[in-house]
Amino acid sequence: MSISSQTTDNKLTISISGRFDFGIHKEFRSAIDAINQQTVHVFVDLRTTEYVDSSALGMLLLLKNKMNDHKDSISLINAKPDVKKILEIANFGQLFTLN
């Protein structure tokens, strides 16, 4: 499991590999600490995420709070079907843009 982040043109992309669970909460919080007033959009790339648990959902809610609860400012992208299903069951499509 690992997290990488990259900022380009006021957009932050956070890529999560492996298990998205409590084991990476410190790294995730460090990644979202890069958000500042110039950040207009955050992409969470779940392309290589194999597993998402309830603590991961909580971390995504922390991200939403950091972005001042603007649904359109956060996109959860490239989720595999199993991961996307968990996000949909949790109604995260109401809180984030799911692509």
User: ∠ CA(15), CA(23), CA(46), 5° rounding?
Assistant: 25
Q: Which three-class secondary structure state does DSSP give residue 69? A: coil
The set of residues, in sequence order, having a beta carbon less than 8 Å from that of 33 and lying 6+ positions away, is none
Q: Which three-class secondary structure state does DSSP give residue 94? A: helix
More confident residue, 78 or 34: 78
Residue 20: domain span: 2-98
CA distances from 26 to 3, 16, 36, 40, 66 (A): 10, 13, 18, 23, 15
CATH code at 44?
3.30.750.24
Choose among 55, 54, 39, 53: nearest CA to 6: 39
Q: What is the dihedral of CA 65, 33, 51, 81, to 10 degrees?
A: 60
Number of independent structural domains in the chain: 1
User: Confidence band (pLDDT; 50, 70, 90) for 71?
Assistant: low
Mean pLDDT lowest among 30-39, 46-55, 87-96? 30-39
Q: What average pLDDT does the structure give for the chain? A: 92
- The structure's pTM equals 0.91
Q: Which three-class secondary structure state does DSSP give residue 20? A: strand
